[in-house]
Structure 1
Amino acid sequence: MLMNRRTFSTALVAGAAASLLVKSEAIAKTITPNVRNVVFVHGLFADGSCWSKVIARLQAQGLNCTSVQNPLTSLPNALAAARRVLDRQDGPTVLVGHSFSGVIVSDVGVHPAVSSLVYIAARAPDAGEDYTALAKEYPTPPASAGIVFDGDEGRLSEQAFLHDFAGDLPEAEAKVLYAVQQPFHKTLLSGVTANAAWRSKPSYYAVSAEDRTINPDLQRFMAKRMNATTIELKASHLSLISQPDAVSQLILRAAGAEHA
């Protein structure tokens, strides 16, 4: 199943815009002047517009935001797409990843433009680490059983998407997200990172305590291992959509990380 990658949901964007003035007051924070860029990378079963609610809030705070369209074809292709966006930034940049894209953040986060890293319910492998082997040390999350393949392309079934991926979203909103999910290629999952940027750069992590896509205890382990500034949200895997204020607050903290 293919999706229109240029659109996400008119209703979602309209809803974010309608509440923006009120919500932005709740996340007001002084941003370090020389950190004005945020680059987002999305994970599986999504596209770049999944960050729309967070982007709206950060733009209201004066930050320049760019969401990478992760091709989800292979790790080298995904890394190249993120690097191209980082190359265009005009100064220190917070690099943010959700879910699978934590792999991308960990690898390309060594880019000289990146000042800090933010992981939202994300994978955070060490350099050369077999993430699949690491994940097997924890109970398998329910969403894994809902992945279906059409040849080389994988996606989530509607049941798994609504209940195990986006479980704390209104059903109507979750169905829109399901309709625009971007399939991934099997080869993407075989890639291994060459770098672990979190070993050298300030890192932040938002654990989703009710996650049914990545085990919450695995998230806690990775956050502790990287010595990340960590928050825990009572959220599904999609905290960036169900709790955009909390996620935005964490990113705003990361924007001043180098001066904290």
Structure 2
Amino acid sequence: MKLNAFVFAGIACGALFGTALSLAKDQSVAPSAPIKNVVLVHGLFADGSSWQKVIPLLQTKGLRVTAVQNPTTSLQADVAAVKRVLAQQDGPTLLVAHSYGGMVISQAGDDPKVAGLVYVAARAPDAGEDYSALTKKFPPAPASAGLQWSDDGYGKLSEQTFINDFAGDLPKSEAETYYAVQQPMGRAITMAKTTVAAWRDKPTWYVVSTEDRTINSDLERFMANRMHAHTIEVKASHIVLISHPTEVADLILEATNAQK
């Protein structure tokens, strides 16, 4: 009996050791798995073309890049659009968002494929937080005064506001090109609240636009600090991804190469 008990205990210990070793190997491999997929999420008053200068900089480094075309009708619809794209990714994925898109990736970023989050002059509310109330703790951004609503409940920035306050550091001709593809937003977005804050559980990076006239720069710093993000500051308007694509792409590349 003693011998049998001893043998049994040895077998049990060996099995446990083997399981533990297997788990340890799995855990050592998973964090170092390379991130080859990048999903880009645009903000309000824009579409996927706002990433057109960043995309080739990432593709030349061998990354598989997808720009989501958000309907910007509601937060739920935009999150669904991102999740459809995430479902098509073949491994660890970096989610990157500009402006309002930060709310979208905060909600969608709990997907197990998401290895990290990059916020580019972006909203990053906590779960259940009233983003509009949060903005009121800081001086108002000038662009908000130029928001115009149609009778059917869709909002756009006036041309003057778009050129001067949204895209203020672009040559006027280039700003007018982006104004021409401005996508209206649904009124439901103004009342939307995230129920998830994926930045609490995933590694994060943040680009602060120091000359931002659409989101207060100090609000951006507050959100970046709160999430303990790896942060850079760029002297740029709100559309830093267009006016300074190299700096934005470099931070995205840093995030894909970081130890997870």
State the TM-score, normalizing by the size of structure 2: 0.86
Aligned-pair CA distance for 1:165: 0.3
Distance in 1, matches of 2:113 and 2:54, equals 21
Q: Which has the larger radius of gyration?
A: 2
Where do residues 182-197 of structure 1 align in structure 2 (5 Å cutoff)?
182-197=183-198
1:179 partner letter: A
Distance in 1, matches of 2:217 and 2:62, equals 32
State whether residues 116 and 257 of structure 1, in contact with CA within 8 Å, keep that contact through their aligned partners in structure 2. no
Matched residue, 2:12:
none
State whether residues 106 and 193 of structure 1, in contact with CA within 8 Å, keep that contact through their aligned partners in structure 2. yes
Aligned-pair CA distance for 1:191: 1.4
Distance in 1, matches of 2:77 and 2:259, equals 30
Confirm or deny that 1:79 pairs with 2:79.
yes
Matched residue, 1:147:
147
* SS of equivalent residue, structure 1 residue 107: helix
Aligned-pair CA distance for 1:34: 2.2
Identity of aligned residues (%): 58
Matched residue, 1:130:
130
State whether residues 210 and 237 of structure 2, in contact with CA within 8 Å, keep that contact through their aligned partners in structure 1. yes
Matched residue, 2:51:
51
Matched residue, 1:224:
225
Distance in 2, matches of 1:59 and 1:217, equals 32
Aligned-pair CA distance for 1:146: 0.5
Aligned-pair CA distance for 1:244: 0.3
Matched residue, 1:110:
110
Matched residue, 2:97:
97
Distance in 2, matches of 1:134 and 1:34, equals 36
Matched residue, 2:166:
165
* SS of equivalent residue, structure 2 residue 259: helix
1:229 partner letter: H
Aligned-pair CA distance for 1:33: 6.6
The number of aligned residues is 228
Deviations, residues 81-137 of structure 1 (Å, cap 9, x unaligned)? 010001110001110000001000111111111100000000000011111100100
Matched residue, 1:205:
206
In the alignment, structure 1 segments of 5+ residues that lack a partner are 1-31
Distance in 2, matches of 1:33 and 1:75, equals 31
Distance in 1, matches of 2:243 and 2:92, equals 28
In the alignment, structure 2 segments of 5+ residues that lack a partner are 1-31
Aligned-pair CA distance for 1:150: 0.9
Distance in 2, matches of 1:164 and 1:89, equals 36
Matched residue, 2:42:
42
